[in-house]
Structure 1
Amino acid sequence: MDTKGRVSIPASFRRVLEQSDPAWTDGLNPELVIVYGDHRRNYLECYTIDAINEVDDKIDALPRGSVQRKMLQRLFHGQSFPTNVDETGRLVLPAKLREKIGLEKEAFFIAAGDTFQIWKPETYEEEELSKTEAWLDELPDDFDPLSYLDGAPEN
C-alpha cells in the first residue's frame, strides 16, 4: 500500500470485478462495494456489483420493519463504501477504512468467488490462520478436508 492508501488489485480479481459489473465496458473502471462492517470485523470485504445486488435483493425480501432487515441494512448499506478500481488497477482505501483494520504498509488479499477480503497480514495470521489450524486439529489425522467437496458429513 502506498502513502495515499492505494493497493494494487491482483489482475485475476480485476477480471472478476469487470465481469460482475453490468455497467462495465472495455475502457471503463469496474465498480465494487467495500463492506467494512461492525466492530467485530477485522477485514474489508469487497463485493462485485452483482454480488452486492444479490445481497440487497435478499435483504429487500425480508419483511419490512423486521429487526433482521433493519440490522442487515445497517450492516451492508450503512457500513459500506462504493468505489471503483482506478485506471492503473489500484483501489484507493480511505483512511477511515485503513484505520478500522489497522492497515499500514501491506495488504493481504483472499479471493472468495465474487467477493474478496483485504486483511492486515498480521491480523490474518493471528486470527484466521489459528481458527483454521484449530479446526484441522479437531479432525482425525487421516481425514482429508477435500472430502467436504464431495458432501462428506461435517464432524
Structure 2
Amino acid sequence: MLLSFKPKWYNLIKDGSKIFEYRRTFPDEEIMAYMYVSSPMKQIVGKIRLGRKIDINTWKEKYKDDGEVSERIDEYLEKHTYAMPILSFQMTKEINLETLRKFDSKFVCPQMYYYLENYPKLFEFIETNASEIGKLKVNSFDKISKEDICRQEY
C-alpha cells in the first residue's frame, strides 16, 4: 500500500508520539504501507505497519463516563471512523516525486491510499529503491491510556 501523509503527521509518527492513524475508510487487515509525504516534501520517506482497524465508536462506549475523552472522540467521529494502531515505523531511503514520475510518467500521489499490488512494476521499483535506513521503531500498546485516544493534536 502507498499511504499519503501531511508532513506534520509524518513527523509525529517518526518521533513516536503518534501511535494511531485515523481514517474514514481503511482495509480491515494488518498492513504494511510505504509513506508518501505531501508538499513541500513530495517523497516516499518510510514505511509503517498498521494493525487491524478499530471502530472509534467502540472507544465511545468504553469511555462514555469520561466527559473529556468522550468529547475528543465525538470530534474525531466528525471526520474519522477508524483508528489503526501504528505497530512500527521504519525510515527508508527517500524517493522524490520527480524520480517516481521519471519511472512512471502516469504516477499520481494518493489522495488517501492505494494498493501497490495493483501496480506491480511501481511496487517493485519502490521496494528496490526505498531501502531501509536507521533503526526500526516499534510501538507498544501494552499500556494505552485515555490520553492516547483521539489526542487533540492529531
Q: What TM-score do the two structures reach when normalised by structure 2?
A: 0.23
1 or 2, which has the higher strand percentage?
Answer: 2
Task: Specify the structure having the higher radius of gyration (Cα).
Answer: 1
1 or 2, which has the higher helix percentage?
Answer: 1
